[in-house]
Structure 1
Amino acid sequence: MDSHRTSSRVSVKQTISLVCSKVRLGILAGLLLALSVSAVNDWVKGGTLRPNRPAPSLAIDSSPLEREGTSVVSFAPVVQQAAPSVVKVYTSATSSRESTRWQQNPMERFFGFPGWDAPNPPQTPQTREGLGSGVIVSPEGYILTNYHVIKGADEVKVVISPDEVTHVAEVVGGDPKSDVAVLKIDAEGLRPMDLGDSDQILVGDLVLAIGNPFGVGQTVTMGMVSAKGRADMGLEYEDFIQTDAAINPGNSGGALVDAKGRLMGINTAILSRSGGNMGIGFAIPINLAKSVMESLIANGEVIRGYLGINIQDLRPEMASYFNLDEKQGALVADVVPDSPAQVSGLQPGDVVMVFDGKPVLGSRELKLMVGSSQPGVVYEVKVLRQGKELLLGVELGQLGEPFLQKASHSSQGNEQVWLKDLELEPLNRALKSQYGVPQSVDGLVIVAVRQGSLAWNAGLRPGNVVREINRTAVMEMADLRQLDFDGPSVLLRLWVDGAHVFRVITLNEQG
């Protein structure tokens, strides 16, 4: 589905656009192609359940950039070094729509010609194609790209320049919460790009954007880092690098490199009134993308730490109430019962100042720190409570586990057969925009489905919205714990491709 991400910080005519593109002539400005994961995965999203993959052999160069050297008159050597690592990514997805005889011939509907009640004609497959970019990061064939580039795709192909050699790519996994996906190809003689340290990049550094805009072929543009730490783009984990290097549809998944040819970010989105470049582009920092990639390869999913607090930024007018001179830190508004935060002694009203030795500037930084930390590890947290500093030791849980643990005790276990094959999220404005769901529709959106499972065999797919289960409305994850799954099957009411449909999952099937 084509989708827009609209930022609340800009006028209604400005949209945050994912910069992938349709493989068609006359691309409409501002249209976005959102294609998900190849069906070759066990998990269609998405994450895969194949943890026995070789770890990528990454070349990491974190040496400082020489910022006071002589003037550079050409970046050709940098381009020659980096460009062979950037690939074109082509996706295709086939969907079937059933056309009723009334839809096929309106005359039969209104005048009742003979045969109007005959069986519907067979479904007609429709193919959607899309393109984007990717970056080879290891000699084993691992490629970084954006999740939205390959979301929903039945097949993903990678074309390597300059010889234009095509490879069918395997989707290792994808993470919609950070918009990072990992592909893998089997090929010899690959030229992986060196990875830099995106924490060292500074506003004002020169950068190059390399990708496949509009499908015209590999293109290089130059600009500078305009800002760091940008957020509010509709993702859960955001820390974007902003650049004025020209980024256009088709650049999604391409490389943002520094003056030494090191990968500093994955080009992802643009802020635009027209859908084309306006000098405001966004890239996922390579440090974040690398962390997501390594988890997807090792675990088949992104393992994130879980603290169990609701937090907000500490506004200037609040700082005096907490005896703070500096207006930084994350204010704890609530603590989830029985969570790692509550067990460690965190309380509402605490201000988290330092996590694992790193200063916490605000709620976004703390969320990124916790999400990138390992479950089961004890981290030192410095908080300010009623004007006094306290040091607490917090053993993080794993994000997503609290619901599964409670659900496993809430009934007789039938739900485990099919609910664990789904990744569900409550719909919010960003997810509705991402999946093309009307604002009037509520429920739980399917982010991932395990291929070959009961849910998969019943026709459930990413982007479907679960509105009712056994004729009971579901709006939040907590609603699932109130349901009775004792019967031999489950009746679901879904929102699929603009209409409501019912699906039945038979629980005694083998998934």
Structure 2
Amino acid sequence: MQNHSTIYKFQRRSKRWLKHSALNSALAIALGSVAITGASVVLSPSAQAAVSTTDFSNLVQQVTPGVARVNVTKTVSQAELAQAQTAELLRQFFGDRLRIPNQPAVPAIEHAYGTAFFITSNGYMLTNHHVVEGADKITVTLNDRTELDATLVGSDERSDVAVLKVVGSQFPALPIGDSNNIKVGEPVLAIGSPFGFDYSASAGIVSAKSRSFSRETSVPFIQTDVALNPGNSGGPLFNQRGEVVGINSRIFSGTGGYMGLSFSIPIDAAMDIYEQLKNNGEVMRAYLGIYPQDIDRNLAEAYNLSRPQGALLTRVSPDSPAQKAGLRAGDIILKYNETQIVRASDLLNLINRARPNDTFQAQVQRSGKPLIVTGKLTRAPSDVQSEGRNQQDNDVRLGLRLRNLTPDEQAELSVDKKSGILVTAVDPTGLAARSGLMAGDIITNLHQKSIGDVTDFTSALSSLPKSGVVTIEVIRQGIPAIIGLRIE
């Protein structure tokens, strides 16, 4: 039986949880001031005092009114629920190679929950994207048991940040801190609704900063040892001054429950997403077009570096801003806009916080020689919601989220630039799901019209008939297929 540790978003269904504590966080608080004598760890007097005097009771009382439970109602299929449970059980025995066939979707109502918190007194709140994804109705329950309907202002999958709005005024907005100023070893507090237990507090320390563990996200996570479980999603992470420094987002676990590794979205990044969603309704990200990796001791010696530092470019995307600026595979970026680059994540974090059309200057080492490279970022490929309207004013709710293919994805598929669009998500209640379209499909043709980008797809939607069946040509796992889309 294989046992794979996984990064888990805090979903509402938990398979099991740990019976034993993973770490002694009180000892971890004092890691910044210890002395090693032989095989023993001796805490300094100040560290011992920190362990014994960390008391969040007043802080919990102060900030709890600004935290709310999120209740979500969404339409799912019984087949999806059964399939997910079966797949999880079978993968424990057979690993990730197992393929579970699709089953017909039968609509059902599911109630999910999470946490949110006020950032303005007029009702704006932050939570996680995965908490409210696919929601038909969202309500929030305040500390005094008041229930309010919430509107989804906007949601961003890559950062896992969502913005909610409730009607009213004089809400207890929480003070926003500076996540750049937090230190490893600093005590932090989380408040949320793990497993549905409202307003539960858990504390620990900051274990690490700037964790980038997946290309699916675009934020430098704060790692803590705070006990987080399903239901904590979207809740605030506080420093000792009662300021929000992060949004609790996910855990690293082999069981689906807490194992001592929790990750939070830095509040600086979350507030940037909030401003864009509130003002523009979307998040615009910059794109450079590079694949960087860290440099270890051996690579540092091979590239004649004094120590492991910088971001080694293993690939540069064709026709990207990086290629146009002159960057090449094998280059080592040591500075980006005057910021020292120690790890690849440092560079990615800077790019993720930039804007399209921002200029950049990079200090590069190429073949042992220093080089200065300048260029301009462009807009990153982004998802587009497809809810087209045809020429007869008949709503065609396909329930698809789409985006254009990146140059690297086109290269991997060995197709030309006018090659199709990627399905990134499928609403189980939409027409596309009922016809068998899946996330990961690449749509190349709709209703006898070639699809090269999202604009082509939107145009093709306008020519669909009021009813009947039209064809969609897709590439699924590298194999071409034709699907009949029934319009109702």
> Could you tell me the TM-score, scaled by structure 2's length?
0.69
Cross-structure match for 1:14: 5
The counterpart of 2:441, out of the listed 454, 466, 478, is 466
Cα separation, partners in 2 of 1:83 and 1:20, compared to 1, 3 Å: farther
Offset at residue 330 of structure 1 (A): 1.2
Q: Deviations over 1:381-434 (max 9, x none)?
A: 211122232223221111128x99xxxxxxxxxxxx999x8423779xxxxxxx
Alignment of 1:398-417 (within 5 A): 398-400=379-381
The counterpart of 2:118, out of the listed 123, 133, 136, is 136
The counterpart of 2:129, out of the listed 134, 147, 150, is 147
- Partner letter of residue 203 of structure 2? M
Alignment of 1:134-283 (within 5 A): 134-161=116-143, 163-232=144-213, 235-283=216-264
Offset at residue 448 of structure 1 (A): 7.7
Cross-structure match for 2:423: 445
Q: Deviations over 1:236-282 (max 9, x none)?
A: 32422222222111101111111111111111122334333232222
Q: Deviations over 1:266-322 (max 9, x none)?
A: 111223343332322221121222222222222212111111223222233222343
Q: Give distance in 1, aligned partners of 2:199 and 2:247.
A: 15
CA contact (8 A) 2:401 2:423 kept: no
CA contact (8 A) 1:464 1:495 kept: no
The counterpart of 2:16, out of the listed 29, 32, 43, is 29
Unaligned runs of 5+ in 2: 18-45, 80-104, 385-395, 407-420, 465-469, 477-481
Q: Give distance in 1, aligned partners of 2:275 and 2:119.
A: 11
Unaligned runs of 5+ in 1: 1-10, 31-66, 99-122, 405-416, 428-442, 507-511
The counterpart of 1:492, out of the listed 464, 467, 472, is 472
Q: Give distance in 1, aligned partners of 2:111 and 2:445.
A: 36
Bigger relative CO (Cα 8 Å, ≥ 6 apart): 1
CA contact (8 A) 1:494 1:503 kept: no
Q: Deviations over 1:311-355 (max 9, x none)?
A: 222233222343211211112233333322222222232211111
Cα separation, partners in 2 of 1:463 and 1:303, compared to 1, 3 Å: farther
Cross-structure match for 2:402: 423
- Partner letter of residue 137 of structure 2? E
CA contact (8 A) 2:56 2:189 kept: no
SS of corresponding position for 1:140 = coil
Cross-structure match for 1:509: none
Cross-structure match for 1:293: 274
Q: Give distance in 1, aligned partners of 2:78 and 2:475.
A: 15
Q: Give distance in 1, aligned partners of 2:234 and 2:462.
A: 45
Q: Give distance in 2, aligned partners of 1:234 and 1:344.
A: 23
Q: Give distance in 2, aligned partners of 1:250 and 1:458.
A: 28
Offset at residue 151 of structure 1 (A): 1.0
The counterpart of 1:340, out of the listed 321, 324, 334, is 321
CA contact (8 A) 1:426 1:477 kept: no
Q: Give distance in 1, aligned partners of 2:131 and 2:250.
A: 11
Cross-structure match for 2:94: none
Offset at residue 149 of structure 1 (A): 0.8
Q: Give distance in 1, aligned partners of 2:160 and 2:442.
A: 25
- Partner letter of residue 424 of structure 1? R
Cα separation, partners in 2 of 1:377 and 1:240, compared to 1, 3 Å: closer
Cα separation, partners in 2 of 1:273 and 1:254, compared to 1, 3 Å: same
CA contact (8 A) 1:446 1:461 kept: no
- Partner letter of residue 423 of structure 1? L
Higher mean C-alpha displacement, 486-495 vs 338-347: 486-495
Alignment of 1:390-401 (within 5 A): 390-400=371-381
Q: Give distance in 2, aligned partners of 1:279 and 1:95.
A: 32
> Could you tell me the TM-score, scaled by structure 1's length?
0.67
Offset at residue 502 of structure 1 (A): 3.0
- Partner letter of residue 304 of structure 2? N
CA contact (8 A) 2:431 2:486 kept: no
CA contact (8 A) 2:210 2:345 kept: no
Higher mean C-alpha displacement, 353-362 vs 217-226: 353-362
- Partner letter of residue 130 of structure 1? A
Offset at residue 211 of structure 1 (A): 0.3
Is 1:93 the equivalent of 2:50?
Answer: no
CA contact (8 A) 1:179 1:235 kept: no
